[in-house]
């Protein structure tokens, strides 16, 4: 027994040919040493068993849907070495978010034995968390309290997924807030904010001055949920915080409250910078950007130092206009609405800076009228290349879903798919029929022009997840190869690749339809009773 465990490890690493030992003897001694090491371990102190998991009264998944969830989770766990993305079959991992949304629409609960896999999947992909935690319900939160790797669930769970835990109220909440780990405190604050915004704000105020700057920033972010004028006094106090990023976050939240004092101060400053000049032949917007960033501006969240390549005055102007309520501009510029304000010429090259700030304000304030005006008609020529201030995808997010889909469909019909990928990403799923038609027509146009499907792989992958499954039969005609001497499709070049791509698309759409039927076969409380098949029209 003179050989130590470290000696055995060294011999195993170097190889028995370099250390005098036979493989059998090495393994025998390793086994002996293992028993010896384990015998020296002391038993862990016993811990009380956790309370039983709360009951989830929602109906279980239908058996076919349960097997489908198990398959989807197994595919995700297999990773890239699973079925493979570019095979002939559908990519199941990309269908999991949609499956979760559909299951939650039906009001089902997740099977208890699949909860660990569901929590692991949501831990790896944050986009799965809302759907996974809603399906997991109180059972998922019960498990998350027992495993530190699943603590994210306590923070991100929807408010309706479970009743509050005992530690979320009273003395238990105060103890967690005063003594808990950072993740536990964030989870407590987020959960409390969803149920009682005022109580969460008051809890945060009790330790605000003692928190680290990075923690204050994270805690402040929790106030976005349920933000209201009642939060203004607390946020006004945060404007004098010693942390610059904390001050900026507080100012951003206050600017989302149009009636706040900060919004009023920013409006006054913005009015002083932008006016309408009627002395010429045509009314023109004139801009006089700030010449300095004074202490008041810095207190209200204006960052004094611009990024590299950006002028100070334009940087300050953008922050002032972005934080000012959009409602001030019609009166200031003497126009009836946002469209007339956007159409006015802007003197001295200030148009990109002014319109960029208006775009950010429209997104922050979720103003559909200003977003619509700044977007302009989808069929009009796009802005010049230098107009990087215009971000249609963000502006579209402020429009109603039907209008959003119609705008993107018209954009694709006019400009094609090359600039449409991000725009498609903000459209509701499944795509409305005009949008789905526009995408398939654009792909078909690319096919007829001799292009290859891998040039549009991103759009094809998105179409697999977003086209209405009821359209699968209408796409069959696109898989037919032109008549040729080979007869079996060989030698058709791009046409053969397109046929394969469309076959994959059709297969995925039919799988999605099957998944939908599997969920509808149950008796969930939200079951719609049958499948809806819209008037599909015909693809070109």
Residue 540 class from Cβ within 10 Å (0-12 exposed, 13-18 middle, 19+ buried)? exposed
What percent of the chain clears pLDDT 70, i.e. is strictly above it? 85
Q: Is the pLDDT of residue 277 over 80?
A: yes
User: Which residue matches tokens 């119609």?
Assistant: 406
Cα separation, 211 vs 219, in Å, equals 10
Q: Once rounded to an integer, what is the mean pLDDT over residues 320-337? A: 95
The residues, ordered by sequence, that sit 6+ positions from 419 with a Cβ below 8 Å of its Cβ are: 382, 411
Give 180 or 263, the one with higher predicted confidence. 263
Q: 171 or 246, which is more confident?
A: 246
Q: Which of 18-32, 192-206, 312-326, 500-514 has the highest mean pLDDT?
A: 312-326
pLDDT at residue 493 in the model = 67
- Given a cut of 60, whether residue 525 has pLDDT beyond it is no
187: which 2 tokens?
A: 């989870």
Range with the poorest average pLDDT among 85-89, 147-151, 248-252, 420-424: 85-89
Q: How far apart are CA 128 and CA 391, in angstroms?
A: 26
Assess whether pLDDT exceeds 70 at residue 417.
Answer: yes
* 480: pLDDT strictly greater than 80: no
Q: Per-residue pLDDT for 74 more than 80?
A: yes
DSSP assignment of 307-366: PTT--HHHHHHHHHHHHS-GGGHHHHHT-SSHHHHHHS-BGGG-HHHHHHHHHHHHHHTT
* Average pLDDT of the residues in 525-534: 42
Please state the rounded mean pLDDT for residues 234-248. 91
Per-residue pLDDT for 537 more than 50? no
Q: Which residue has the higher pLDDT, 450 or 357?
A: 357
Q: How does residue 388 score in pLDDT terms, banded at 50, 70 and 90?
A: low
Lowest mean pLDDT among 8-22, 45-59, 458-472: 8-22
The yes-or-no verdict on residue 87 having pLDDT over 80 is no
The full 3-state SS of 325-336, as one line of letters, equals: CHHHHHHHHCCC
Residue in 501, 504, 408, 402 with CA at minimum distance from that of residue 456 = 501
In this predicted structure, the answer to whether residue 179 has a pLDDT above a threshold of 50 is yes
């Amino acid at each position: 027994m003179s050989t130590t465990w470290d000696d055995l490890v060294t011999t195993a690493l170097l190889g028995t040919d370099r250390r005098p030992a036979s493989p059998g003897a090495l393994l025998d001694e390793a086994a002996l040493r293992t028993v010896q090491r384990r015998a020296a371990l002391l038993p862990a102190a016993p811990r009380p068993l956790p309370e039983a998991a709360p009951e989830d009264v929602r109906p279980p998944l239908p058996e076919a849907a349960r097997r489908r969830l198990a398959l989807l989770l197994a595919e995700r766990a297999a990773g890239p070495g699973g079925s493979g993305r570019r095979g002939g079959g559908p990519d199941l991992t990309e269908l999991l978010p949609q499956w979760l949304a559909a299951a939650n629409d039906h009001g089902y609960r997740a099977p208890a034995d699949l909860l660990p896999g569901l929590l692991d999947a949501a831990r790896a992909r944050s986009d799965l968390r809302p759907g996974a935690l809603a399906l997991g319900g109180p059972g998922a939160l019960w498990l998350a309290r027992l495993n530190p790797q699943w603590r994210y669930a306590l923070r991100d769970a929807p408010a309706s997924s479970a009743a509050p835990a005992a530690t979320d109220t009273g003395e238990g909440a105060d103890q967690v807030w005063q003594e808990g780990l950072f993740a536990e405190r964030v989870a407590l604050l987020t959960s409390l904010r969803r149920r009682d915004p005022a109580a969460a704000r008051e809890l945060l105020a009790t330790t605000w001055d003692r928190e680290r700057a990075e923690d204050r920033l994270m805690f402040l972010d929790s106030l976005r949920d349920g933000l209201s004028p009642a939060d203004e006094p607390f946020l006004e106090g945060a404007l004098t915080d010693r942390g610059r990023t904390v001050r900026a976050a507080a100012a951003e939240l206050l600017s989302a409250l149009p009636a706040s004092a900060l919004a009023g101060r920013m409006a006054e400053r913005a009015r002083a910078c932008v006016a309408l000049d009627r002395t010429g032949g045509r009314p023109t917007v004139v801009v006089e950007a700030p010449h300095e960033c004074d202490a008041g501006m810095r207190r209200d969240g204006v960052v004094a130092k611009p990024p590299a390549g950006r002028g100070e005055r334009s940087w300050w102007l953008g922050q002032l206009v972005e934080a000012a309520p959009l409602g001030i501009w019609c009166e200031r510029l003497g126009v009836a609405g946002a469209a007339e304000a956007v159409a006015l010429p802007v003197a001295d090259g200030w148009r990109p800076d002014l319109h960029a700030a208006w775009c950010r304000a429209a997104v922050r304030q979720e103003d559909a009228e200003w977003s619509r005006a700044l977007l302009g008609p989808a069929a009009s020529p796009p802005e010049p290349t230098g107009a990087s201030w215009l971000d249609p995808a963000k502006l579209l997010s402020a429009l109603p879903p039907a209008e959003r889909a119609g705008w993107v469909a018209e954009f694709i019909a006019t400009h094609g798919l090359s600039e449409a990928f991000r725009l498609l990403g903000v459209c509701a799923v499944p795509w409305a029929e005009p949008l789905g038609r526009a995408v398939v027509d654009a792909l078909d146009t690319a096919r007829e022009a001799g292009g290859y499907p891998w040039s549009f792989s991103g759009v094809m992958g998105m179409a697999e997840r977003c086209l209405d499954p009821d359209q699968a039969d209408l796409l069959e005609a696109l898989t037919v190869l032109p008549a040729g001497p080979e007869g079996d499709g060989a030698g058709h070049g791009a046409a053969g690749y397109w046929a394969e791509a469309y076959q994959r698309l059709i297969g995925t759409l039919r799988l999605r339809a099957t998944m939908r039927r599997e969920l509808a076969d149950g008796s969930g409380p939200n079951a719609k009773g049958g499948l809806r098949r819209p008037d599909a029209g015909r693809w070109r």
